[in-house]
Structure 1
């Protein structure tokens, strides 16, 4: 009985505690809401959770491209090694609201003429 009462108190306190919204860059809040189209050469790739990061040279400027989580990349049809150093990559996605970041969240990738849809367009 005492254990049930203690669990009820803990649950009540947990539910009454205000949550603090995450201010991390995950999601779309840091983007402009518009799309840009970039083409460049992959310089480095780091895939994994929470999402993959691809560094791309676009006309001499270094851009950071956020691709999907591993399951999202798999679902889009990307295979290990598709995103590799030296490969030309076209990216359509939402750039950072601070364009000086040179960061874009990829919605679609194009490799060797093939389209990989990571995030269907949100309208």
Structure 2
């Protein structure tokens, strides 16, 4: 019986950690995004490098402000994109996957500013 008294709390802890991680895993996957990629052109409204994902707010030609999620902080840094890469008013092109709910939200695979590519997920870039 003593072994069961030790094992049960460990099993309960493992179950709680697994269930608690489910929303986190869902957020970090691609299941919420469309499979087909979209190109968004506009101007930068703001840049945030805050975790869990850096984001850019982009205003398109119709005046809609989009939230563009970049890669995780390490991926974003590897792409060469930093907090100083873009600022309000800069022209930007974003290639990425739009939210399936058709909201103004997308996950970037590539950002283009001044002709410079910043590839967040180079392996996911679909051929033209």
The TM tier, using the shorter chain, reads 0.7 to 0.9
1:41 and 2:40 are equivalent in the alignment = no
Map of 2:96 onto structure 1: 93
TM-score (norm 1): 0.82
Gaps of 5+ in 2: none
Deviation at 1:89, TM superposition (A): 1.0
- Tell me, yes or no, if the aligned pair for 2:47 and 2:83 is still in contact at 8 Å: no
Kindly provide the CA deviation profile for residues 33-68 of structure 1, in whole angstroms up to 9, marking residues without a partner as x: 110011110011111211012111111221111112
Q: Would you say how many aligned residue pairs link Structure 1 and Structure 2?
A: 120
Give unpaired runs (5+ residues) of structure 1: none
Which one of the candidate residues 110, 113, 116 is aligned to 1:114?
Answer: 116
- Root-mean-square deviation over aligned CA pairs: 2.5
Higher percent of residues as helix = 2
